[in-house]
Amino acid sequence: DPLTGVYNRRFALPFLQRLIDSSQLSGENFAVMLADLDFFKQVNDRHGHAAGDQVLCAVTHQLRAHLRQDDMLARIGGEEFLIVTPATSRRRAQRSADRLCAVIAQTPIAVAAKTTPLHVTISIGVTMATAMGQTLSVAQLLEEADRALYAAKAQGRNMVTFCARSPA
């Protein structure tokens, strides 16, 4: 992604397919997360698109800083990010997503044209890919993570929600 310096959709979707294929052989679970900035349109409307770009870059930096080296971060839409965490359990995915929500909410973002920093939050939808005899597709995983993201938005934002299909 030219703005944020992280991967884009063209890299992320084939990466996810390769991970699906390898997890079928290895038996390792992985998490797929969709993270979306809450009320991002208001940032652009109130402070301008240049400030919105600065917010996107700062959030990207915080996300990257709080993910493992093998985790994949991609900006796949305006203010939407795909995070894939290979070889992880549901519990570890929950902790990771909770940590990402907290760090974004707690980190003020300096914007060049503003004297006071901006505060933003993210919502995250998560689905777990398990290698227990299921045939998974990229589209299915993205749909499940997206459904979970919409649930997080509907329940008040600035939170993590798991797809109902994911095992407890």
d(CA 168, CA 164): 9
Instruction: Using CB atoms within 10 Å of the CB of residue 25, give its burial: 0 to 12 exposed, 13 to 18 middle, 19+ buried.
Output: exposed
What DSSP character marks residue 71?
-
Query: Could you give the number of structural domains in the chain?
Result: 1
Decide if 2 is inside a domain.
Answer: no
Domain that holds residue 85: 7-162
What's the pLDDT score for residue 133? 59
**Confidence check: pLDDT of 134 > 90:** no
**Confidence check: pLDDT of 167 > 60:** no
Q: What is the mean pLDDT of residues 29-44?
A: 95
d(CA 76, CA 94): 21
Residue ranges of E strands in 52-121:
72-75, 80-85
For the chain, the straight-line distance linking the first and the last C-alpha, in angstroms and rounded, comes to 34
What's the pLDDT score for residue 132? 66
Respond yes or no: is residue 28 known to be catalytic.
Answer: no
Decide if 117 is inside a domain.
Answer: yes
Question: Catalytic one among 79, 80, 143, 144?
Answer: 79
CATH code of residue 128: 3.30.70.270
- pTM score of the predicted model: 0.93
What's the pLDDT score for residue 136? 84
Decide if 16 is inside a domain.
Answer: yes
From the list 120, 118, 127, 119, the residue with the least C-alpha distance to 160 is 127
pLDDT in tens, 61-113: 999 999 999 999 999 999 999 999 999 999 999 999 999 999 999 999 998 86
State the greatest distance between any 2 C-alpha atoms of the chain, in Å, as a whole number: 55
pLDDT averaged over the chain? 92
